[in-house]
């Protein structure tokens, strides 16, 4: 069965500092991987996705993620965090093997210090 | 493109009543729709998967008689919470996939409060 682990429940970084949010997955075949951001009381916004091809994926808002098959990881990075990046971040895995349904990690809450 | 809407965005109902939430794909035909539930400060949990014209597939532990899902057309799926109780209060999010695509497009969510 597919699963997603986000080891960090809460991360605090200073504005302007770099950011890395960890995501590990378990999936029997080639996974489709996603990162979403959710502001309080809001829906999900897709930051980026990986289906195939280049393992370094560029997303919106200056985010990128790297798919590492050997480590079963899909970590999200941003070189310089802005105060508006404070939100909840979810990693998700899906695929055609499971009727395209998606499993989400527990989420990582990002706090940005001024 | 690929916009999904939900209605209402928030609803308050009394315990014992039923409430219907609509999920619409506005600019594409959704062959598959998904319903998720999210408790405060928690992740999204898949409740059920519905394909147009067929019965929904519920995840283990989700009561199909309590959470009625109807995917009557390629642009509309509804979730009806029957005989709602305070513990059903949650944030309900739908998503949709069109055609042979893999990516789910998410609605903005519906906050349900049962008093």
Asked if B34 and B93 count as a contact pair (C-beta separation under 8 A), the reply is no
- Report in angstroms the alpha-carbon separations of B76 from B30, B43, B64, B110: 8, 25, 19, 15
Residue of B nearest to A88 (CA): B41
pLDDT the model gives residue A102: 82
As a whole number of angstroms, the distance between CA B6 and CA A95 comes to 24
B:53-72 residues touching chain A, CB 8 A cutoff: 57
Q: Is B115 on the interface with A (CB under 8 A)?
A: no
Q: Please give the pLDDT value at position A83.
A: 96
Q: pLDDT for A45-103, tens place per residue?
A: 999 999 888 999 999 999 999 999 999 999 999 999 999 999 999 999 986 555 567 88
Q: B42-73, pLDDT tens digit by residue?
A: 899 999 999 888 889 999 999 999 999 998 89
Q: Cβ distance B115 to B16 under 8 Å?
A: no
pLDDT at position B31 is 84
The pLDDT mean for chain A works out to 91
Q: What is the DSSP letter of A40?
A: T
* CB of B8 less than 8 A from some CB of A: no
**What tokens were used for A107?**
């989420």
How far does B107 lie from chain A, in Å, by closest CA?
A: 7
Q: Is A31 on the interface with B (CB under 8 A)?
A: no
* Secondary structure class of B59 (helix, strand, coil): coil
Which candidate from B49, B108, B109 shows the least CB-CB separation from A99?
B49
- Cα distances (angstroms) measured from residue B48 to each of A106, B33, B57, B93: 19, 9, 5, 11
Cα dihedral B96, A36, B81, A95 sign: positive
**CA-based diameter of chain A, in Å?**
44
Contacts of B41 in chain A (CB under 8 A): 109
Characterize B71-99 residue by residue with b for buried, 16 or more Cβ atoms within 10 angstroms of its Cβ, and e for exposed: beebbbbbbebeebeeebbbbbbbbbbbe
Nearest to B108 among A43, A46, A102 (CB): A43
Q: Which residue has the tokens 């302007």?
A: A16
pLDDT tens digits for range B71-107: 889 999 999 999 999 999 999 999 998 766 777 889 9
Tell whether omega for the bond before A40 is within 30 degrees of 0, i.e. cis.
Answer: no
Report the pLDDT averaged over residues B20-45.
91
Determine phi and psi for B13, rounding to 5 degrees: -135, 160
CB atoms A32 and B109 under 8 Å: no
First to last CA, chain A: 41
For the segment A82-97, what is each residue's pLDDT rounded down to a tens digit? 999 999 999 999 865 5
B42 part of contact set with chain A, CB < 8 Å: yes
Q: What is the reported pLDDT for A56?
A: 96
What's the rounded Cα separation, in Å, for the pair B35 and A108?
22
A102:B34 CB<8 A: yes
Instruction: Name the minimum distance, in Å, from the CA of B95 to any CA of chain A.
Output: 10
For residues B110 and A20, what is the distance between their CA atoms, to the nearest angstrom?
30
Using CA atoms, how far apart are residues A64 and A79, in angstroms rounded to an integer?
9
């Amino acid at each position: 069965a597919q699963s997603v682990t986000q080891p960090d429940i809460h991360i605090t970084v200073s504005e302007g500092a770099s950011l890395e949010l960890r995501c590990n997955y378990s999936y029997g075949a080639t996974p489709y991987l996603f990162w979403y951001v959710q502001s309080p009381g809001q829906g999900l916004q897709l930051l980026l996705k990986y289906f195939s091809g280049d393992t370094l994926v560029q997303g919106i808002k200056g985010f990128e993620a790297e798919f590492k098959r050997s480590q079963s990881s899909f970590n999200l990075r941003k070189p310089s965090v802005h105060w508006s990046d404070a939100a909840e971040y979810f990693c998700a895995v899906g695929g055609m093997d499971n009727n395209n349904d998606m499993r989400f990690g527990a989420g990582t809450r990002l706090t940005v210090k001024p | 493109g690929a916009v999904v809407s939900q209605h209402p965005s928030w609803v308050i109902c009394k315990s014992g009543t039923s409430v219907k939430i609509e999920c619409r794909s506005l600019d594409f035909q959704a062959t598959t729709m998904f319903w998720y539930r999210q408790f405060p400060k928690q992740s999204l949990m898949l409740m059920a998967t519905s394909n147009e014209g067929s019965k929904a597939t519920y995840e283990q532990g989700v009561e199909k008689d309590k959470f009625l899902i109807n995917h009557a057309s390629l642009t509309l799926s509804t979730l009806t919470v029957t005989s709602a109780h305070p513990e059903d209060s949650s944030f309900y999010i739908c998503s949709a996939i069109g055609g042979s695509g893999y990516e789910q497009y998410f609605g903005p969510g519906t906050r349900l409060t049962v008093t």
